[in-house]
């Protein structure tokens, strides 16, 4: 025994580098392993130790990669459109199946799990203080969307906390993994539902007002799901002090730049509205052009300007995503057009300029045709700059593990947006294959998701070490 201890004293390893090996074996652990397997050797060098450490770290990544691949494949089966992407709307049987599976995964790593009144799944690791660091993303999807949007971030969060717990130490802050509900807004044309509930931004009147294509309100859907819609305003959280989210990029930049990780600097603001243009139904052959009140013609003149106006502003986008026509009959002049419009930009001034421009166009066109219009805002979230400290933690982790990275702007809205407007927040992006998202072809290499879990784990550790929230 004394001889082996003497051997260990002769080992040449880099102590400074070993401090950065947070998720693999330490240099001393590597030394112990080398003596165990090669007792005849008197001394070992840094290259020997590094080989063992790098191999251990690689095996850790491979283990996470395989686990994430299996979990995401399983979750992709909880869909109402099998064979045509993932459709998992809020308060549906598919959402319940996914929630139960997520609950199982959380419980397997020792978290105390509950379903909150927004329909989200929350797993808690109790810390030394009740102040909470929340990490996660959303469980819902678009119609015929992909198998990674949102849900990959949920499973990365679970994996990050699994890695975090390997040292067996109780964290300073309590940590919650969350699978939020109705982030997309696809069913009720709203979105970011859980964040709004946690910050008491919704009233009973609000959730009665939002309805789906079948005429079912959020209120009724919650009640059928076993939740308490009448208590929607009483679930405000004040203990959440930080938020961390992993998400697929949903764009082509990281892949094109050959980067493993995207460090998100800012999330664009979003203003979303439903526009109704009211005309008059008449016979298409007998009503002269100068006497018509054609809702489609009027709406189309406004819609045609929306994209052109957005192109005047850097990083701004605007989209008409849904359009309905009444009576939608070939030989009747349309009496009504309803369309959704989504404005995005990195500053609120840019968003407002686009919105006001559309309102001015609507006023001018409907006056010309002696018609009227209505506009109802359905979503309004401001651009959010994410925590500079957290961004540096992510960069430090990438450097320590050799992950390539770059800073990036998020053109999509995320749960982190609601939280980041109030508390320190961060987002970790991973590449999307071909930049494809919100479609069945959506894909992401699970290897980069495993990297994101490691980076998230390191960030959680750093937050708990700093104790500055």
- Report the pLDDT value the prediction gives residue 381, as an integer from 0 to 100: 87
Q: In the chain, what are the domain boundaries?
A: 2-58, 84-268+386-466, 269-381
Does 40 have pLDDT greater than 60? no
**Whole-number average pLDDT of the chain:** 90
Q: What is the pLDDT of residues 66-103, one digit of tens each?
A: 999 999 999 999 999 999 999 999 999 999 999 999 99
Q: Between 349 and 25, where is the model more confident?
A: 349
- Report the pLDDT value the prediction gives residue 72, as an integer from 0 to 100: 98
Question: Does the domain spanning 269-381 belong to CATH 1.10.3210.10?
Answer: no
> What separation, in Å, do the N-terminal and C-terminal C-alpha atoms of the chain show?
46
d(CA 443, CA 436) in angstroms, rounded, equals 7
Q: What is the pLDDT of residues 274-316, one digit of tens each?
A: 999 999 999 999 999 999 999 999 999 999 999 999 999 999 9
- Could you tell me which of 244, 154, 261 has the C-alpha nearest to residue 425? 244
Does residue 32 sit in helix, strand or coil? helix
The two tokens of residue 267 are 């999330």
Strand 240-248 to strand 129-138: parallel, antiparallel, or no bridges (unpaired)?
parallel
Does 58 have pLDDT greater than 90? no
Q: Which CATH class is domain 84-268+386-466?
A: alpha beta
Can 84-268+386-466 and 269-381 be said to share one CATH topology? no
Cβ-proximal residues to 212 (8 Å cutoff; 6+ apart), any chain: 89, 187, 188, 221
Cβ-proximal residues to 40 (8 Å cutoff; 6+ apart), any chain: none
Q: Mean of the pLDDT values across residues 242-266?
A: 98
């Amino acid at each position: 025994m004394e001889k082996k201890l003497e051997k260990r004293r002769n080992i040449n390893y880099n102590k400074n580098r070993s401090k950065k090996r947070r998720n693999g074996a330490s240099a001393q652990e590597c030394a112990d392993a080398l003596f165990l397997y090669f007792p005849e050797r008197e001394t070992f060098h840094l290259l020997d130790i590094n080989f063992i450490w790098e191999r251990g770290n690689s095996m850790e990544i491979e283990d996470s990669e395989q686990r994430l691949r299996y979990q995401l494949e399983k979750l992709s089966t909880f869909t109402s459109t099998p064979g045509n992407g993932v459709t998992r709307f809020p308060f549906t049987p598919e959402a319940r199946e996914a929630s139960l599976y997520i609950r199982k995964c959380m419980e397997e790593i020792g978290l105390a799990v509950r379903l909150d009144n927004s329909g989200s799944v929350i797993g808690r690791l109790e810390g030394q203080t009740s102040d909470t660091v929340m990490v996660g993303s959303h469980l819902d999807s678009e119609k015929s969307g992909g198998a990674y949007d949102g849900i990959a971030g949920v499973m990365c969060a679970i994996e990050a906390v699994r890695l975090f717990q390997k040292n067996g130490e109780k964290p300073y802050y309590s940590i919650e993994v969350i699978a939020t509900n109705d982030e997309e807004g696809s069913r009720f044309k709203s979105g970011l539902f859980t964040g709004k509930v946690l910050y008491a931004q919704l009233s009973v009147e609000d959730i009665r007002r939002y309805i789906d294509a079948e005429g079912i309100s959020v209120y009724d859907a919650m009640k059928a799901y076993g939740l308490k819609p009448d208590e929607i305003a009483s679930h405000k959280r004040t203990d959440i002090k930080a938020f961390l989210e992993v998400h697929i990029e949903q764009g082509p930049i990281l892949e094109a730049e050959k980067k493993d990780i995207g460090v998100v600097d800012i999330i664009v603001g979003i203003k979303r509205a439903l526009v109704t243009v009211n005309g008059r139904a008449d016979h298409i052959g007998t009503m002269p052009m100068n006497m018509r009140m054609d809702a489609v013609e009027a709406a189309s003149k406004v819609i045609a300007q929306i994209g052109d106006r957005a192109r005047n502003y850097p990083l701004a986008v605007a989209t008409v995503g849904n359009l309905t026509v009444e009576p939608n009959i070939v030989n009747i002049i349309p009496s009504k057009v309803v369309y959704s419009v989504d404005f995005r930009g990195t500053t609120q001034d840019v968003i407002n300029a686009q919105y006001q421009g559309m309102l001015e166009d609507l006023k001018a066109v409907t006056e010309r045709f002696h018609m009227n219009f209505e506009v109802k805002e359905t979503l309004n979230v401001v651009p959010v700059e994410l925590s500079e400290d957290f961004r540096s933690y992510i960069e430090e982790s990438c450097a320590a593990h050799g992950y390539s990275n770059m800073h990036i702007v998020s053109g999509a809205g995320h749960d982190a947006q609601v939280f980041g407007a109030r508390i320190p927040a961060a987002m970790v992006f991973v590449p999307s294959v071909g930049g494809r998202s919100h479609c069945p072809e959506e894909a992401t290499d699970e290897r980069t998701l495993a990297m994101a879990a490691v980076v998230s784990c390191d960030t959680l550790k750093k937050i708990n070490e700093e104790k500055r929230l």
